[in-house]
Structure 1
Amino acid sequence: MPTTRLEFHPLTYVEERDGVTVGRVDGTSYAQLPADGVALLKRLADGMSPSEAAAWYSVSFGEAVDIDDFVDAMRDLGFVRTDGEDVAQAPAVRFQALGRAAFSAPAWAAYSLLLVAAAVAMAVRPELRPHAANVFFLPSLIAVQFALALCQSPAILWHEWFHWLAARRLGLSSRLRIGRRYYYLVVETELDALLGVPPRRRYLPMLSGLFADLFLFAGLVLVAAAALPAWPGGLALAIAYTVLLRMAWQFYIFLRTDLYYVLTTALGCTNLHEVSRAYLRHRFRRLPWVRPSDWATDQWTPRDRRMAPTFALIMVGGVLAMIATVVLWTGPLIVEFLTRVITAMSHGTSGGRGFWDSVGSLLFVAIELVVLPLLAGRAGRRRAAASTPA
């Protein structure tokens, strides 16, 4: 048993319902430990040698502890300083004042006025209300597709920027990065540092992206109110419709959206998605196509296991929300698109502008929904084959 004292990086301790989240102050590593594990870790961090800490634990809790295994786990988490390693320090956080201003009382008052003005405008002018036909603000389908494609990235960046600002407001290090989901380039905000603050302070950074979408929708409605019937007003309404679709997507809890993390935080859970999937596979294990479940293992926290049956129903609710979105919003959009394509191709001449515009529009859809997925799948199989040992 080691008798040499260990050097630890500065750590943060945040009380959770089922334990304590311990993390490095630089936000690079976190773990949730039970109360006795936290007490043991604090003794080691305060200067006890592993042998002394093990003896203290035995007296305090009436049972022995595998101190070597515990110390190895702390090393794997990066909590223990290695020889020559610099002491971890909380990163410097810039733009904290900007984050505070974005969520200050005057800012919330301005946001409220924006929402009220948009609601009044939609009540007075029915053409400003969301409708699938709003997307087709130009006669050319392919022009509509390119315009919306170009506008989606700034709209998504706006969503993520509000996440970033809300984290900066708390003095947390957050970072915007460009990633890829399947074959789409996406902007994502790293919010791991939220684990270093109490759960009640995590909600605004998690929900701020949804608020940003709501404010953007309201602003676009007001732009359309001022610009219609000119094409900038039509473009504003078209983008507003796609913003609503992204807001609806947040309710697809089973996809681990922003609202999923809000819910798990409110329930005091850590990995509800995986534990609920394991629970469902366990319940339907007799079906031939259900793969074996690891529900019987002890890798899940007690609270996660207790909440799994309830969360499984919430996941089903997310699927129903997705179906409702398809039926009410996405479905009419598809029907409107196909109606315009079929009309142009059947009633126009083969050399007419409408005919070739529809052909180009269908080609654009085919590339996005067929060609790019096939190329992405082939690239993924090549990477998997390259990483498989011979």
Structure 2
Amino acid sequence: MTDADTPTHTAAEDRPRIEPSTRVLLHDLAVRRDGDEWIVGRMATRTFVALPAAGARAVELLGRGLSVAGTARMLRTETGEEFEIADFVGDLTALGFVARIGDHPVPDAAPPPPSLPWLRPRHVRFVLHPALPVLVGALLLAAVVVLIRRPDLLPGYRDLLWSPHGSLILLSGAAAGWALVLAHELAHLVVARAVGVPGRMRLGTRLQFLVMQTDISGIELAPRRHRLTAYLAGIALNLSVASSLVLALALTDTGTTAHRLLAAALLVALMPLPFQLMVFTRTDLYFVLQDVTGCRNLYGDGLAYARYAFRRVVRSRRPGGATGAGDPSTRLPPHERRAVRLYSVVLVVGTVACLTFVAAVTLPVDITLLVGAARGLGPGHGLAGTADSAAVLVTLGGVNLLWLLTRWRDRRSGGSAG
């Protein structure tokens, strides 16, 4: 924000002029071929872009020290086409890929700090070993066999009510749930760090959900097996914890406090898994789906197509209504176009269903509980009643307040909260 009488200038105006003889120094960039395109990115800033083969070749030539004119001349010889390399260098500079233009250093923004910076790839390289998924699968299979032989171990909602004190159930459930959420995200971070991706954990929102999320931008440059391992690491951890709890349940006597606590913990470990199916909120399975379909931005392109389809329906109902902007999915390759259009249906239906549930169930329940808890405070309600009310206000009210603050932070910073 500047005063009205203060002259302003853009970063582009501060850059030195790019002449045909100009040479640039690029930052350390990583490159991976992906079908007909190349993924080029800078791991330090977690900025990545998909380029055609000619663009990746231009990056290579500029990185080798060729001038703007020399790069254009080499590309013309190799492809028979003319390329505006000066404009291309400007685009690379805007992405933060250029360290120096000629003799002029390019200002560089400080990269976002990674979570657990002391954790080095060599510390966690073992998570990429092919034997680890086999061990997880064996543990899951053992738990399934136990449940088939002893179906009485299958937990139900009553197992969460392991204590007559509601406040104790609420507080312990919240503590266990958030501990598991942290472990889930840590699994993503550990696999990404093993690949060499910094990774950063933070709170975020997905529609009405308060979530912990891990930014592992840069994993796009890893081999597909490593990418899928990073995406599925959290789910694998939940399943491993749940499988271990099933085996522990089989070794404890039914009706004991230990058995009730294990059953409650098992439910806590399993409850986040159905949420992963909600791919319209960009869950772990969403990134698997995006990778498998070969889409660059399944959510963004799906949202753009849904908005286009909505505007088209609205305008078609108006007399003489114009069709407006064209179908944004037509610029995509055929395989991406089909995936994006199908995903847009899931995106719209899922989002409407979630928001409807919030309005019809979640908000009325939360308001009822919070109002009842507020009325249960103060003298005349006894110590136990006051404690229960305080626990409800702290946990439920705290979660809702944290959601609001996180949503406000993401909107203010231009984040991509769901």
SS at match of 2:33: strand
Corresponding residue for residue 283 of structure 2: 257
Corresponding residue for residue 408 of structure 2: 380
Letter in 2 for 1:75: T
Match of 1:215 among 228, 237, 240: 240
Give, in whole Å, the separation in 2 of the partners of 1:40 and 1:314. 39
Letter in 1 for 2:199: R
Corresponding residue for residue 302 of structure 1: 333
Structure 1 residue 261 displacement after superposition: 0.9
Match of 2:32 among 14, 37, 61: 14
Structure 1 residue 75 displacement after superposition: 1.0
Give, in whole Å, the separation in 2 of the partners of 1:197 and 1:105. 15
Corresponding residue for residue 34 of structure 1: 52
SS at match of 2:264: helix
Give, in whole Å, the separation in 1 of the partners of 2:177 and 2:107. 42
Matches within 5 A, 1:330-341: none
Cα deviation digits, residues 281-300 of structure 1 (max 9, x gap):
2222245599x986645996
Structure 1 residue 374 displacement after superposition: 9.1
Corresponding position: 1:52 with 2:70? yes
SS at match of 1:273: helix
Give, in whole Å, the separation in 2 of the partners of 1:273 and 1:283. 15
Corresponding residue for residue 177 of structure 1: 201
After alignment, is 24-33 or 144-153 more displaced?
Answer: 24-33
SS at match of 2:218: helix
SS at match of 2:203: strand
Contact 2:24 2:62 in 1 (8 A): yes
SS at match of 1:22: strand
Give, in whole Å, the separation in 2 of the partners of 1:66 and 1:156. 48
Give, in whole Å, the separation in 1 of the partners of 2:341 and 2:132. 40
CA gap of 1:364–1:6, structure 2 versus 1, over 3 A, is: closer
Matches within 5 A, 1:260-275: 260-275=286-301
Unaligned runs of 5+ in 1: 385-390
Structure 1 residue 242 displacement after superposition: 2.7
Give, in whole Å, the separation in 2 of the partners of 1:129 and 1:353. 36
Corresponding position: 1:277 with 2:264? no
Give, in whole Å, the separation in 2 of the partners of 1:320 and 1:363. 29
Cα deviation digits, residues 46-74 of structure 1 (max 9, x gap):
22211222233344444432222111001
Superposition RMSD in Å: 4.3
Match of 1:131 among 136, 145, 156: 156
Corresponding position: 1:311 with 2:343? yes
TM-score normalized by the length of structure 2: 0.70
CA gap of 1:373–1:206, structure 2 versus 1, over 3 A, is: closer
Structure 1 residue 194 displacement after superposition: 0.9
Residues matched between the structures, number: 359
Matches within 5 A, 1:64-83: 64-82=82-100, 83=104
Structure 1 residue 187 displacement after superposition: 4.2
Cα deviation digits, residues 315-356 of structure 1 (max 9, x gap):
468669979x99xxx99xx9xxx9xx9xxx9xxxx9688876
Structure 1 residue 237 displacement after superposition: 1.9
After alignment, is 266-275 or 91-100 more displaced?
Answer: 91-100
Corresponding residue for residue 397 of structure 2: 367
Give, in whole Å, the separation in 2 of the partners of 1:190 and 1:372. 23
Give, in whole Å, the separation in 2 of the partners of 1:123 and 1:243. 19
Structure 1 residue 173 displacement after superposition: 2.9
Cα deviation digits, residues 129-160 of structure 1 (max 9, x gap):
13222211111222111001111222112212
Contact 2:26 2:63 in 1 (8 A): yes
